[in-house]
Structure 1
Amino acid sequence: MRLFLLAAAALPTLAALAPTTALAWGGTAHAVIDRAAIEAIPDSGPTFLRRHIDYIAGSASLPDGWRGDSEPFSKMEEDPNHGWFKEQFAFLKPIPRSRHEFVLALYKHYEAIKDKDPATAARTNVRWTGTLPYAAMESYERLIACMRQFRALQAARKDTSFSEQHCAFQVIRLGHYIGDGAQPLHDSVNSDGWRGENPKDYTRDRTIHGRFESEFVDGIGLTVKDIAPRIGAPGHRDGDMFTAVLAFLDDASSRMEQVYVLEKRDGFSNFKDKDVREMVYAQTAGGAAMLRDMICRAWAESASKPQPLTPSPLDPANPAHNPETGSAPAQVGA
C-alpha cells in the first residue's frame, strides 16, 4: 500500500512532464502534401499511384488515429513515430542506423545519469526523443517491397489492383511521417510551448502547435496550387536515404525558433500575415518534395532484384552484428 501511495503521489509530477499529443499539420496540410507529391511524380515514376490519389490524400491523417489512449499498445508504438526532439539526444553521435540500437543508447544514457540528473533522465526515452526517421525508413522500405511485387505482377500480366492498394497504404504512412517532419515543431522539444530558459519570452502555451499547423493552415485555405510551383524537379536519386531523411529533419528543425518569433506577433490570428504564410508554404512544399523524391527513389530501387546480404544481418558472424539487438544495423546505401 505504501508503494502505491508513493506512486500515486508522483503522478502529478509525471503528468507535468508528459508531452501533449500533437496531431501534425492537421488534416488539411497532410492531405495537400500527399496530393501535391503524387501530382509531382514524373511520367517515368510510379504513375499507377495517380489512380489512388484520392484514397492517399483522404487518408493522410490516418496514422494519428493509431495514437489514442484507448489503444495503449498501438499508442506506445506509434506516438514516438511522429516526432524527433533533437535536443534530447544531442549526446548521441552518430545516430544509430537501427531503431533498436537507438532505444538501447537512450536507455544506457538514462542509466548513466538517472542519479546525478534525474530531471534529464526522466526525459531520456523514446517518448521524449521520437523515432520519426526510423518510422519513415521502415515505411519507405516496405514501399520498395510493394512496388517490387507490383512490377512482378505487371510483368506476368496479372491483376495488380491489390498490390497497388498495398503501395498506396505505404505511401499514406510514409507521407504522414515526412509531413510531420516538415513541421518545425515536430523536430524540437519545444513542440508544444517553449521549455527551459526563456530569455526571449516565447510562449509556453501548448496550443501554439495547433494554432500554427491547423488553425492558421485552415484559415488561409491551403491548396495544392499554393505549393506545387515550389516543389521542383525530383531529387535524392542517389546517396543514402537515411542520411537524407536526417538532413531533411535537421533543416526543418532549424526553423523551429522562427515559428515562435512569428507567434509573438498576434498568435497566428492574422491569416494575411505574409511571413507565416511563407513558412507554411515553404514547409509543406518541402514535405511534398521529399515525399515525391522518396516515392520515386523507391520505384527505382524496386526495379533491382534484391540482393541477400552475406552473412545475414542476423548472423553473429556478420562483422556489424550487435548481440544486444540480435542484428546488424542497416548498411549505408548507395
Structure 2
Amino acid sequence: MRRFILAAAIILCPAAAQAWGGTAHAVIDRAAIAAIPADGPVFLRRHADYIAASAALPDTWRGDAEGFSKIEEDPNHGWFREQFAFLKPIPRSRYEFILALYKRYEVIKDSDPATAVRTNVRWTGTLPYAAMEAYDRLIVCMRAVRSAQARGVDGSVPEQHCAFQTIRLGHYIGDGSQPLHDSVNSDGWRGPNPNGYTRDRSIHGRFESGFVDAIGLTPADIMPRIGPLAHRDGDMFDAVLRFLDQSGDRVETVYRLEKRDGFRNPADADVRALIYERTAAGAAMLRDMLCRAWSESASLPAKVTPSPLDFTNPRFNPETGSATP
C-alpha cells in the first residue's frame, strides 16, 4: 500500500521533476540564509525552517489542473537561451520580451515552422523577470521591517511577507543555478547530436533529484564554497542574466557526465563537484540578492517622474502601456 501511495503521488505531481528536487532547493535556501552577514537581513534566520520547508512551493503552482496558474507560472522556471539568441539586448520588461518573441514568431512561422512553434513565452521562459519581481517585492517588505524596527513595534507580519518572497526568489534563483533550466536541452538533447548525448527526458530528474538525494546533500557541503558577498552595486537584472549564462555554459558538462554512467554512481567525484558548485552558486546569488535588497530598503522609494505609466515618460512603450524599469 505504501508503494502504491508513493507511485500515485509521483503520477499526480509531475512538476516535482521539473526543478531542483526538494532537497537541493531547501539546501540552497538554508545555506544562503546562514551566509547572510551581520549587517544583512538576519531576521530571515527566524524563518529559515519555514522557507526551507516551502522551497519547492512554486512548483506546486504549475499543475495541469490549475490552468490559469500553470500558464502564468510555468515559464518562470526556465530560461532557454538558444530560443532567443536573436534578441539583443534582452528587454528589461517581461511584456516587451513576450512581444519580441511573438514578433519573431510572425516572421518565421512560414519559413521555419519547427522553430516558430517554440518561439513563445512557454518555450523560452521568463525566469529572470520572475526573480526580479520577487526581488523588488523583497525591497518593499524589508522597508516595512525596518520601519517596525525603528518604531520598536512588532515586525512579525512584514517579516513573514519577506520570508514568502524569499521562497519565491530562492526557487527561481535555485532553478537558474541548475544548468538544465537554462537550455532547450532541459529534458534530453534536442536537434543535431554529434556527441551522442542522451535524448532520455529522465536526465533532468536523475541529475538534480536522484543524484542529489543519493549523496545526501546538506548545507554543510556547500557553505565553504559560497564565497564572500558580491553584487553590492551594479545593475541587478544584468547580474541575474550573467548568473543564468554561467549556469547555461555548463549544460554540456551535465550531458558528458551522464554519458559516462547515467548518474548511477553516488561516489562519482566529478558529478558531486558539479552539484556542489552549482548549488553553492545558487546559494551565493540568493544571499547576495537578499543582502542587496536589504541595503536598498534603507532608502525611501525613488521618485520616478513622470510615472512609468505616464505617456510622457521618455521610456514609455505604447505596446506595453508602461516604461521599462
TM (norm. structure 1) is 0.92
Candidates 301, 316, 329, aligned match of 2:311: 316
> Secondary structure of 2:152's partner?
coil
Pick the aligned partner of 1:294 from 268, 289, 294.
289
Of 10, 20, 25, which residue of structure 2 is paired with 1:25? 20
**Which of 209, 213, 216 is the equivalent residue of 1:218?**
213
**Residue of structure 1 in register with 2:185 after alignment:** 190
SS in 1 for 2:173: helix
Residue in structure 1 matching 2:196, options 195, 201, 204: 201
Q: Who is 1:146 aligned against?
A: 141
Superposed CA offset, 1:104-133 (max 9, x none)? 000000011111111111000011000000
Of 83, 92, 96, the residue aligned with 1:97 is 92
Matched ranges for 1:92-171 at <5 A: 92-171=87-166
Q: Which one-letter code corresponds to 2:98 in the other structure?
A: V
State which of 265, 268, 284 in structure 1 corresponds to 2:279: 284
**Counterpart-to-counterpart distance in 1, 2:189 and 2:18:** 18
Counterpart of 1:11? none
SS at match of 2:322: coil
Residue identity matched to 2:224: P
Determine the structure 1 residue equivalent to 2:79. 84
How far off its partner does 1:313 sit?
1.0
Q: 2:31 aligns with which of 27, 36, 39?
A: 36
1-structure distance, mates of 2:278, 2:246: 10
Q: Mind listing any 5+ residue stretches in structure 1 that lack a counterpart? A: 1-19
TM-score by length of 2: 0.95
| Percent of aligned pairs with the same amino acid | 75
* Structure 2 portions without partners, runs of 5+: 1-13
Secondary structure of 1:204's counterpart equals: coil
Cα separation, 2, equivalents of 1:140 and 1:79: 19
Q: CA RMSD in A?
A: 0.8
Instruction: Give the letter aligned to residue 152 of structure 2.
Output: R
What's the offset of the Cα at 1:153? 1.6
- Whether 1:248 and 2:250 are equivalent positions in the alignment is no
Aligned counterpart, 2:40: 45
- State the Cα distance separating 1:23 from its structure 2 match: 2.4
| Residue correspondences, number | 311
* Alignment partners' CA distance in 2, 1:195 and 1:46: 42
Question: 1:233: how far off?
Answer: 1.1
Question: C-alpha offsets along residues 7-47 of structure 1, whole Å, 9 cap, x if unaligned?
Answer: xxxxxxxxxxxxx9552110000000000000000011111
Deviation at 1:255, TM superposition (A): 0.3
CA distances 1:266-285 after superposition (whole Å, capped 9, x unpaired): 10000000000000000000
